[in-house]
Amino acid sequence: MKVINQHYTLSNGVKIPKIGLGTWQVKDGDEAYNSVLIALKNGYRHIDTAEGYRNEASVGRAIKDSGIPRDEIFVTSKLESHIKTYEGALEAFDKTLKALDFEYLDLFLIHAPWPWDEVGKECHEGNVLAYKAMEKLYKDGKIRAIGISNFEPVDIENIITHCEIVPHVNQIAYFIGLDQSKTIESCNKHNIFVEAYSPLGTGRLLSNEVIVQMAEKYQVSPAQICIRYCLQKGTAPLPKSTHEERIIMNTKVDFEISTDDMNVLDHVKKNF
């Protein structure tokens, strides 16, 4: 079975497709709509968006217009990072659901442990309040899985200590050259699945000499090497593209990087 048709299984039994389409920095309107429609046409069944991306309406419309049954598509959205209250989280979720025009969401995440304009700010109490609202929505059947994004070990422990449900997912920046070992170790300890956003290093890795040479060796693209690396690390990569050729190419990762070559990629950070 091709990777694009394969799934991981979250701790609550929910299946999540191994590759998703990322829509960060994809403009609302035709760009977001067409990207999602093209992806779905070419086998994607995992779409990642967020209220903060300002493209939920276009994403939802494309999913509806695809003609694919809603229950065959795994859709993620996120609570904006500055919302750190119980009621605020409930209201934001309703807004997201209305924008997407859905009856439920497959995965809802706290977008970050701190507001994006105050990176590093300690918001433990607010994160607990927001997450407790998500627990309610999960119990009410409005969300199939709940989780966090950009949470480091201290933030993860805060949620686990003060909340009832261990997050099912932590979505983090993860790509060749970025050391996320401490966060991944914490996630593994608590059986929290890791999604990898920006698996191409926001495009910076595509010209990396080591990756380019390895792509030539395997007769694939640098992007395919980056995506395959994340898969072999047991994460779900979320590559973003608005071009049909690249959207399709990002699914053609049914090859295996050798153990020795994975080790080489593990050390790309020294040259990054």
53 is catalytic: yes
| CB proximity list for 267: less than 8 A, separation 6 or greater | none
The token pair that represents 163 in the structure block:
């909340």
The token pair that represents 39 in the structure block:
């992806």
| CB proximity list for 268: less than 8 A, separation 6 or greater | 176, 177, 208, 210, 211
Amino acid identity, residue 223?
A: A
The token pair that represents 12 in the structure block:
């609550």
253 contacts 19 by C-beta, under 8 angstroms: yes
Q: Active-site residue among 8, 33, 44, 53?
A: 53
Give 241's DSSP letter.
-
Is 124 labelled as part of a ligand binding site?
A: no
Residue 264 burial by Cβ neighbours in a 10 Å radius (0-12, 13-18, 19+): middle
**Which parts are annotated binding residues?**
111
**Which parts are annotated binding residues for substrate?**
111
What positions carry a catalytic annotation? 53
